Structure 1
Amino acid sequence: MEQSGTSTRLQAAVQDLASGVVSALRGGDHPHVVPLGADGEAGDLALAAVRVLGADALLPGALLRTPPDPAEVAVFRKAVEAHPPRADAAPTVRWSHWGMARTLRRLDPSVTTGPSAEPDTGWLDGAGWQVLTHQLAVLAPLAVPGEECAVSDLAACRPVDVARGFVRAVRRRDWRQAAGAGRWLTLLPGVPHTVGLEAGLDFVELMGGQDPLVALQVQAARTVRAGAPV
């Protein structure tokens, strides 16, 4: 029961953090996206939530080119340092950790926390379009304009497959996967016009937008499509 309660609290913390990111992207009055205590520090639950959300915890600064709060950056850095991937971690976990480390280095080139070398993408070589879309949706925090990596290069080579995955996710009512795939599609060249991405994002937002994790991906896609500075 205690483990279940902890999991429930973590899910709530992740959703609260995602809601803060969405509000900031929409121009809401949220000076602090990352939850901080009265002492300016973040508790273990907040650190874990940042780790789950990954680089998207500081997404407003990346897309809107606004300087992040130093206290939030400190919490973000602590989350990276406190939760390194285990040796047997899944590829998506290793890539998420790398993405967070990349974000830190972008904010402060003197930072040496986390890996600088990209993990491999071997697990995606030859992956079917269903698997590819699922994995890219998990790694949606890597879909940031002007910050290419091996994963984004691989996605750029398969826009039709990602588009097929997006349509399939919508039909299956898998709104989180659809939103993540839609975010990638805003960055990829050669996306078929028949996908109807704008209308598709509208539908995903309508049907799944009450989930802050869906709303975050949709708003990220909209911000990019609206011409966020890159």
Structure 2
Amino acid sequence: MAEQAQGAVPLSAVIADAASGVALALQGEGDPYALSRIVRQGDALALAAIRVLGADALAPYALDHRAGPGGEDDQAVVRQVLTAYPPGVDASDVSVWSYRGLVEASHAFLPGGVDRLPQAPQAGAAWVSEDPWPKLSHRASQLAALALPGLAPGLADGLAARTDDLARGFVRAVRRRDWLQAAGLGRWLARLPDVPPTLGLDNGLAFVRRMSEGDARVALHVVAARQFYGRGW
């Protein structure tokens, strides 16, 4: 048992590997991206990692020439993830939004969408207008994968009404050296209109990536902000 424990790969490492693969594909590097290539059939850790990345696992399909055609193997992986890790009855709003985001991304980015997907529950949205800005910033950063073009338009509209609060959260996260939260908020701000020029978002995102010392999920958020919205160069 001790030998198995020593040889076990932690989920965080699998998530980092998957995030790195997505970021490379968004930059047009490496082999054409295929979700099924980074997930071995029946690999529970890999499926869990895709559940954590959510819609970002399909982000390369949203860019021309950055991924191979999503085929039946990719669709099978998505169905496995959604079936294996549905939000429970007491799931947080963030968990439900993330689940719905993967469903939306599947329909939006995989050719022909994905048939026979599990039904996603409704996601609560009152927090978008009611949360104080620190809590709002925390939740929004956890849902940065939904900042992909065209996904969750209602959520994006609600966050657009609180752009100043998200900007405050971005500055606070940078000051606290919470690079993952800062990157997630910066990615949302890259999508939203009317970001205060005084925020210095482009320099801020570049700074966050540099200071994160190679954190794969931070890099993914910054690369996505660059590739989809031209921010953070």
Measured against the shorter chain, the TM-score band is 0.7 to 0.9
CA distance in 1, matches of 2:164, 2:85: 35
The structure-2 alpha-carbon separation of the partners of 1:148 and 1:34, relative to structure 1 and needing over 3 Å to count, comes to closer
CA distance in 1, matches of 2:7, 2:123: 30
The answer as to whether partners of 1:17 and 1:35 remain within 8 angstroms in 2 is no
Please list every run of 5 or more consecutive structure 2 residues that lacks an aligned counterpart in the other structure. none
Matches within 5 A, 1:32-47: 32-34=33-35, 36=37, 41-47=41-47
Q: Does 1:14 align with 2:15?
A: yes
1:44 CA displacement = 1.4
Aligned-partner residue type, residue 53 of structure 1: L
The structure-2 alpha-carbon separation of the partners of 1:211 and 1:20, relative to structure 1 and needing over 3 Å to count, comes to same
The structure-2 alpha-carbon separation of the partners of 1:5 and 1:100, relative to structure 1 and needing over 3 Å to count, comes to farther
The answer as to whether partners of 1:17 and 1:33 remain within 8 angstroms in 2 is no
- 1:84 is paired with a residue whose SS is coil
Aligned counterpart, 1:206: 210
CA distance in 2, matches of 1:30, 1:208: 26
Aligned-partner residue type, residue 53 of structure 2: L
Aligned counterpart, 1:28: 29
Please list every run of 5 or more consecutive structure 1 residues that lacks an aligned counterpart in the other structure. none
TM-score by length of 1: 0.87
Aligned counterpart, 2:55: 55
The structure-2 alpha-carbon separation of the partners of 1:155 and 1:31, relative to structure 1 and needing over 3 Å to count, comes to same
Q: Does 1:186 align with 2:190?
A: yes
What percentage of aligned pairs have identical amino acids? 43
The answer as to whether partners of 2:140 and 2:185 remain within 8 angstroms in 1 is yes
Paired residue total: 226
- 1:85 is paired with a residue whose SS is coil
Q: Does 1:83 align with 2:97?
A: no
The structure-2 alpha-carbon separation of the partners of 1:179 and 1:7, relative to structure 1 and needing over 3 Å to count, comes to farther
CA distance in 1, matches of 2:14, 2:212: 19
Aligned-partner residue type, residue 89 of structure 2: A
- 2:31 is paired with a residue whose SS is coil
Aligned-partner residue type, residue 56 of structure 1: D
Of 177, 180, 185, the residue aligned with 2:181 is: 177
1:110 CA displacement = 6.1
Aligned-partner residue type, residue 14 of structure 1: I
The answer as to whether partners of 1:81 and 1:114 remain within 8 angstroms in 2 is yes
CA distance in 2, matches of 1:156, 1:118: 21
1:93 CA displacement = 0.4
Aligned counterpart, 2:227: 223
The answer as to whether partners of 2:58 and 2:106 remain within 8 angstroms in 1 is no
User: 1:24-79 CA deviation, whole Å, 9 max, x = no partner?
Assistant: 011111334536489x6351111111111111111111244755432233212211
CA distance in 1, matches of 2:120, 2:205: 33
CA distance in 2, matches of 1:131, 1:19: 28
The answer as to whether partners of 1:32 and 1:72 remain within 8 angstroms in 2 is no
CA distance in 2, matches of 1:134, 1:93: 13
The answer as to whether partners of 1:58 and 1:68 remain within 8 angstroms in 2 is no
Moved more, 99-108 or 53-62: 99-108
Aligned-partner residue type, residue 107 of structure 2: R
TM-score by length of 2: 0.86
1:135 CA displacement = 0.5
The structure-2 alpha-carbon separation of the partners of 1:155 and 1:208, relative to structure 1 and needing over 3 Å to count, comes to same
Aligned counterpart, 1:197: 201
Aligned-partner residue type, residue 50 of structure 1: I
1:209 CA displacement = 4.7
The structure-2 alpha-carbon separation of the partners of 1:109 and 1:202, relative to structure 1 and needing over 3 Å to count, comes to closer
1:128 CA displacement = 1.1
